[in-house]
Amino acid sequence: MKKWIVSIAVVALAGSSAAANAVNWWDLGNTKVGPEQTLQQFHEYFQQMYPKIPLQKYALGAYAFSPEMYSQYQEAIQFNPGDLTLSEGKKLWDTPFKNGKTYASCYPDGGKGVAAHYPMFDNKTKTVVTIGMSLNACRQANGEAPLKYGSQDLIALQTYLGSLSNGMPVDVQVKGPGAVKAFEEGKAYFFMKRGQLNFSCASCHVAYAGKYLRDQIISPVVGQSAHFPTYRAAWSAVNTLQKRIEGCNKQVGAEPEKLESVDYRNLEYFMSYLSNGIKINVPGYRP
C-alpha cells in the first residue's frame, strides 16, 4: 500500500498541468446533465484526448494504448483460458432444471443479444437488475435455489450469457425518472473520492486513462464493461465487473461494497451505459 501512495502522489503532481490543458474532466461528473449528454461528453472528452483512437478500440482497455502490449495480448488470446469457463457456463446453461426447463426459456431468443441490454432498470421493483440477478430470478421462477454471487457456477453462467451477445454493441437504456436516478447515483459513486488515497474512480479511469500509473497503463472507463466477465492472469480465473471494482476499491484503501449491492449495481449501470456502441467480447483477457 505504501508504494501506491508514493507513486500516486508523484503521478498526481505530474499530471495536474496536463489535465488543465484538456477538457475539464471533473466537469464530466456533473449529475445535472442527464444520461445522453453524459455519454456524449465522455466520448468527446476521450476523442479530444486521443484523437487517433476510434471508439471501438476502447474495447481493448489499456491494450489500446501500447502496440507492444497489444501484440502480447494477441498472442495470449490465441488460447484464452477464459474459454474453459465459457464452456462450463454452456454446460450449466444447457442442463435442465428439475422441472425440465432450461435457462433459455427465461430469455427472449434463447438469450441471444440479451446481455447487451444489461444492466437494466426494472420499473416494478425500482431497482437496477444485473445479468447475475436475472439468472437467479430465472432459477427461482423454475423452483431452484439462487446461486451465490461470486460463485463459480454463476460466473460461468454470466460468462456464457454474456458471450451470446458477442459482436453486438452494448445497448443499455436509461429511460424514466427511476432509471435516471439510479444512473446518477452510479455516476456520483464514480466521481466520489474515497479511501486512504482519496482517489475517485474518475481520477484514474478518466483523468489518467491511457497514462502510466507505476508500471501499468490505466484503461478508460469507456469500454470497460464490454469484455466482462473477463479472464485475468492475476486471478487465474474469469470474474465479473463488480469483482474488478472491488479490487480497485481495495487498492486505494477503500472499503469494498458487497457484490450486487445497490451501489455496485448503480455503478455498473452507469459504467455500462458509457460503453454503449462498443462491441461485446466475453470473456475478455487481461493481465
Do the Cβ atoms of 229 and 242 come closer than 8 Å?
Answer: no
For residues 93 and 199, which CB has a smaller minimum distance to ligand HEC in the complex? 199
The answer to whether 216 contacts ligand HEC (rule: CB under 6 A) is yes
Residues 153-172 touching ligand HEC, rule: CB under 6 A, are none
CA distance 267 to 248: 13
The answer to whether 179 contacts ligand HEC (rule: CB under 6 A) is no
| Sequence-ordered list of residues with C-beta below 8 angstroms from that of 226, at least 6 positions apart, any chain | 59, 170, 275, 278, 279, 280, 281, 284
Size of the site for ligand HEC (CB under 6 A): 22
Q: Which of 85, 203, 239, 266 binds ligand HEC (CB under 6 A)?
A: 203
**Residue at grid coordinates 434463447:** 110
The answer to whether 61 contacts ligand HEC (rule: CB under 6 A) is yes
Nearest approach, Cβ of residue 123 and ligand HEC (Å): 26
- Chain centroid to Cα 131, Å, comes to 12
Which window, 81-89, 111-119, 160-168, 200-208, contacts ligand HEC (CB under 6 A)?
Answer: 200-208
Q: Which of 86, 133, 170, 201 binds ligand HEC (CB under 6 A)?
A: 201
For residues 179 and 271, which CB has a smaller minimum distance to ligand HEC in the complex? 271
CA distance 178 to 175: 8
CA distance 207 to 189: 16
CA distance 119 to 140: 19
Nearest approach, Cβ of residue 8 and ligand HEC (Å): 6
Residues 245-264 touching ligand HEC, rule: CB under 6 A, are 245, 248-249, 252
**Closest alpha carbon to 277 in 34, 44, 58:** 58
CA distance 71 to 69: 5
**Residue at grid coordinates 451505459:** 273
Q: Which of 158, 165, 219, 242 binds ligand HEC (CB under 6 A)?
A: 219
Which window, 24-32, 110-118, 160-168, 240-248, contacts ligand HEC (CB under 6 A)?
Answer: 240-248
Do the Cβ atoms of 223 and 58 come closer than 8 Å?
Answer: yes
Q: Which of 134, 165, 230, 240 binds ligand HEC (CB under 6 A)?
A: 230
Question: What's the number of CA atoms in the CB half-sphere (13 Å) around residue 221?
Answer: 32
For residues 104 and 248, which CB has a smaller minimum distance to ligand HEC in the complex? 248
List contacts with ligand HEC (CB under 6 A). Answer: 8, 61-62, 199, 201, 203-205, 213, 216, 218-219, 224, 230, 241, 244-245, 248-249, 252, 267, 286
